[in-house]
Amino acid sequence: MMIWDYWRLITIVSVAGFVGLLFDQMLLVMFIATFAYAMWLQRIWNRLYFWLKEPKKYKPPSVDGVIDDICREIDRVGKQNKSRKKRLRGYLKQFQAATAALPDAVVVMGDFGKVEWANKAAQILLGIRWPQDSHVRVNNLIRDPEFHKLLHAPISKDSVAVVASPIRSEQQLEVKIVNYMGQGRLLIARDMTQTIKLQRMRRDFVANVSHELRTPLTVLHGYLEMFTAESSAQQWGTALPVMQQQTQRMDAMIKDLLTLSQLEMGEKPLEHRPIDVGDLLRSIAKDAQQLKQYQQHTIKLELESDKLLLADSDELRSAVSNLVFNAVKYTPADSTVTIRWAVSDTNGCIEVSDNGQGIAEHHLDRLTERFYRVDSGRSQEAGGTGLGLAIVKHILQRHGAELRITSEVGEGSQFRCCFPLKHVLDN
C-alpha cells in the first residue's frame, strides 16, 4: 500500500534528524539519508523498468508499498491480456479454418491493398500465396484492368467485376470487395466459369430452338398463304408431302426437347433391372434395318459376352437406338454399322461403330451439345433434331456411365457406352 512509502520516508527522515542532532549535523545527515533513499528508490524503479521491458528475463521487484501494488496490478492485467490473446488466437484459428474450407478465395487487405492474409483457395484461383505474399500489393499480383478499376472504385454493393484468373486465363472469376471492421477490406473471388458456360449454353439453346422451329413454320406459313379455294389438286399434291415432313420434324424436335427436359430434371425415376443386352441389341438392329430409305446398310452384331446389364430398359433402348439410327442415317449407302457388347476387367461397353466418313477431331468435344451439328445441311436432310447425342449423354450420366467418342476422317466413328462393373451381372 502507498501508506508504507509514507511511513518509510517519515521514519528515515526522523532517524536521520535525531542522529544529526547528536552530532550537531542534522541537515547534512538528513540530506545523506534522503539521497540514499532516493537512490534505493531509483534502483527499485530500474528493476521495475527492466521487468516490464523483458518479463521473461527479469523478475519483478519485491518491496512493500506502491511499487508492490503496481507490480501486482501489472501482473493481473498481463494475465487478462494473455487470456484475451488466447481467446483471440482461438477465434482467428476458427476463422482461418472456416475460410480455408471455402471454395471461394478470401484475401484480407490492409493499407494500400496489401495482402495481410489469404486462404488456400486464393492460391488456387488468384495465385496469392500466404505467407509468401504478405504485405505485397494485390494489384501487383492481379493485373487485370477490370480488377484495377474495381480496386480503386468506391466500395458499394455493386462492387463486382468478372476477370480472368491470373493462373488459368480460360477460368472466369467473379471478384468482390467488401468492407469489414471499419477500415479493413476483404477480397472475395468465386469461380464462375461453369456458371458463365451454362448461361451461354442457355442463350444458345433458346436461339437454336427458335431457329430450328422457325424454319418449318416458315415453310408451312408460306404454303398456307399460297393456297386459295381455287388451288388445284396438283398444287396440293406437291405441297402436302413437304408440309407433312415439316410437321413431323417439329413433332420429333418437341418430343426430344421434352425427353431431354425430363432427363435433366430427373422427373422420371430410374427402374433398374437386369437386361439381356443381346436381346435388346438384336431388337434395335432389326428396327434399324427396317428404315426404308437406309436398307442398303449392313447391320452387324458382335455379342462377346452373355452377361446382363443392370439399367432402366426404356432409357437404355433410347440411348442405343439413337446411336444406331444416327450411324445408319449419317453414313453412305452400303456402309456397315457394327453393334458390339463386351465386358472387360474395368467396365461393360455397348459400342456402335461405322465405316463411314468419320468426324474431324475438333468436332468431337461438342457433339453432345444441344443442336450442335457437324454438317447442318446433311443433318436436316436426314431428319435429325440435333438433340440425339445430348439425350444419350444424359441417359448415361443417370446410370453412372460414360459416352466415349472416337473418330477418324475417312475411317469411321465409334460411340461407346461404358458402364461400371457394378452394373454388370452374371446371366
Q: Within 129-232, where are the H helices?
A: 138-141, 145-152, 193-226
Same topology, domains 102-191 and 272-425? Answer is no
Q: Which pLDDT score, from 0 to 100, does residue 276 have? A: 94
Q: Which pLDDT score, from 0 to 100, does residue 376 have? A: 53
Burial class (CB in 10 A: 0-12, 13-18, 19+), 79: exposed
Q: What is the dihedral of CA 215, 220, 226, 232, to 10 degrees?
A: 130
* Bridging pattern class, strands 347-354 and 412-420: antiparallel
Burial class (CB in 10 A: 0-12, 13-18, 19+), 427: exposed
Chain centroid, CA 120 distance in Å: 14
Residue type, 174: E
Q: Which pLDDT score, from 0 to 100, does residue 197 have? A: 79
Q: Which pLDDT score, from 0 to 100, does residue 414 have? A: 94
Q: How far apart are CA 78 and CA 100, in angstroms?
A: 32
Q: Around 355, how many Cα atoms within 13 Å sit in the side-chain half-sphere?
A: 9
- The highest-level CATH class for domain 272-425 is alpha beta
Domain residue extents for the chain: 2-84, 102-191, 211-265, 272-425
Q: Per-residue pLDDT for the chain (427 aa), expressed as one digit of tens each?
A: 455 566 777 777 787 777 777 777 778 878 888 888 788 878 878 877 787 788 777 777 776 666 777 777 777 877 788 888 888 787 777 777 777 777 888 888 888 888 888 888 888 888 888 888 888 888 888 888 888 888 877 777 667 888 888 888 888 888 888 887 667 788 888 888 888 877 777 776 677 677 667 777 777 777 777 776 566 676 677 777 777 777 777 777 777 777 777 777 766 778 889 999 999 999 998 888 876 565 678 889 999 999 999 999 988 998 999 899 888 888 888 888 999 999 999 999 999 999 888 888 888 888 888 777 776 555 455 556 678 888 889 889 988 999 999 998 888 999 999 999 999 888 7
Q: What is the CATH number of domain 102-191?
A: 3.30.450.20
Q: Which pLDDT score, from 0 to 100, does residue 286 have? A: 87
* Under 8 Å between Cβ of 189 and 173: yes
